[in-house]
A and B are shown apart, each in its own frame.
Chain A
Amino acid sequence: AQSVTQLGSHVSVSEGALVLLRCNYSSSVPPYLFWYVQYPNQGLQLLLKYTSAATLVKGINGFEAEFKKSETSFHLTKPSAHMSDAAEYFCAVRDSSYKLIFGSGTRLLVRP
């Protein structure tokens, strides 16, 4: 069965610093992976998705993620954090019945 694990329930960075949010997946078949962001009192917004066309995926708001099969990872990065990036981030994998399985989420805090 497919699953994702997000390491670190909370990550704190300074404004302008690198953002790195970790996601490892478990899948016996090629995974279909997604990163979503949730701002307070809002639904989820898709940041990016892995489509197997390229291992480095660029998303919205300057985020990108690299698919590494050897490490079963799909970590989310952003070179320079902005205060507006403070939110909760979810990694997700689509399972064999096409439903999304979400990780437990990582809350990003950006310090001024």
Chain B
Amino acid sequence: DGGITQSPKYLFRKEGQNVTLSCEQNLNHDAMYWYRQDPGQGLRLIYYSQIVNDFQKGDIAEGYSVSREKKESFPLTVTSAQKNPTAFYLCASSIEGGLGEAFFGQGTRLTVV
């Protein structure tokens, strides 16, 4: 099956810890994205990558970091600098160039305990 896989589905983090959310796709898409979803705020772009070894900050990149060492993988690290990390995180991919729709993973719900 082609698609995007996010793991884990649920993640709990203690204050001051860094955690990494996994996102893998086998759709051969060049572009990958990370969004944060909070109730009533829609989806906000954290980081995006249009090609391997390159990525750009989105609207709310502070406290987050990413890497894009392989085309299939775009992990997101939520660092201790992110003051309000509890949210639902969505990874997506699309063909580069803008014509194609984005395909989304099932999301990771991160909770700070």
The finding on whether chains A and B are genuine partners in a shared complex, rather than unrelated, reads no
| Chain A residues within CB distance 8 Å of chain B | none
